[in-house]
Structure 1
């Protein structure tokens, strides 16, 4: 009989949230992002993106920490890797860039856990799938989601142009209209974990 993976969750109130300088987005729009992807694909081939799924609890229910940009766009912390860059080390660096206080050199402190999901972008379009469609031989992007194991306490700093939200799983579940297919799938991906509330 298979055993269920366990993961400790600490209360949202254990974490201190600060603000740091504006972090500019590379692309002013989705169309610009897809255009950059097409340009990079011509130069380097398939892009690999890594994102961290940070789970805490509030009122006895799991919440996922995610960034909100411009009041409408939600994303997990993470970004595309450079060619040949290690996935785990690359994710640690990007988590520090996005969420660590200014001047801290704490990327080695992030504990990256299990790979919980993989999404594929078959074309230069917004659609991503949790599989490679049968007619696609060269996907344009692979996105990997890793569970991030948080310490009991940590200071986080969020760029001024973004908000860090703790979104409950029940809000994400079956809510692709607001959060998109990838984020609304997180309750399914996380259901294999037995969360231990600390």
Structure 2
């Protein structure tokens, strides 16, 4: 049986504020992979959690993405602390990145649902796979995607150097050129849900 998710209208249910920019720690892919390597030597496997936040616009499902400098898109989320619980870590990351300053994690609006996909980074390279290649015994990163739903009202506050956008599934589907392999696979992943579209007038 299909699980039902209630989606609210992105434009009428949510309000938006701005907060200080969150600076990317790396200004290039090369420096990011270099930093990842250093951390791996200290902490071992990097664990990241990301949210597939589903809303609707004109009764069509959309995914919330963070847009950086007009060219790069990512799912909200981030790296877990060593030993941190995945769901708690995801709520911490979402609260930090998307909630107004001073919001306690306990008051945050995120309803974390199921872990719907796991991706692996076998080497210190850009590429991730939805499985571990057979010859890889020590993958470098494990990235888990969770479905996250929102209440009918909440306020976001987005760092001023990022933009939170709602992108329709038909725009993302099969569009790995623009969105990358992970984001473009999301429409298939969430096709198992049945959606109820609610709009507040």
| Interval containing the TM-score (normalised by the shorter chain) | over 0.9
Q: Which position in structure 1 is the counterpart of 2:128?
A: 128
Q: Which position in structure 2 is the counterpart of 1:37?
A: 36
Question: How far does residue 106 in structure 1 lie from its aligned partner after superposition?
Answer: 3.9
The C-alpha deviation readout for 1:78-122, integer Å capped at 9, x for no partner, is 111111011111100100110001122245532111111110000
Q: Which position in structure 1 is the counterpart of 2:159?
A: 159
Task: Measure the CA separation in 2 of the matches of 1:57 and 1:11.
Answer: 5
Q: Which position in structure 2 is the counterpart of 1:53?
A: 52
* Aligned-pair Cα RMSD in Å: 1.0
Q: Which position in structure 1 is the counterpart of 2:68?
A: 69
Runs of 5+ consecutive residues of structure 1 not aligned to the other structure:
none
What TM-score does the superposition give when structure 1 sets the normalisation length?
0.96
The C-alpha deviation readout for 1:119-160, integer Å capped at 9, x for no partner, is 000000000000011111111000000011200110001000
Question: How far does residue 195 in structure 1 lie from its aligned partner after superposition?
Answer: 1.1
Q: Report SS of the residue matched to 1:40.
A: helix
Q: Which position in structure 2 is the counterpart of 1:103?
A: 102
Q: Does 1:193 align with 2:201?
A: no
- Figure out how many residues of one structure are paired with residues of the other and give that number: 196
Q: Which position in structure 2 is the counterpart of 1:177?
A: 177
Answer whether contact 1:100 1:106 (CA < 8 A) is retained.
no
Deviation >4 Å, runs of 4+: none
The C-alpha deviation readout for 1:43-80, integer Å capped at 9, x for no partner, is 11110000111110001100001101111110011111
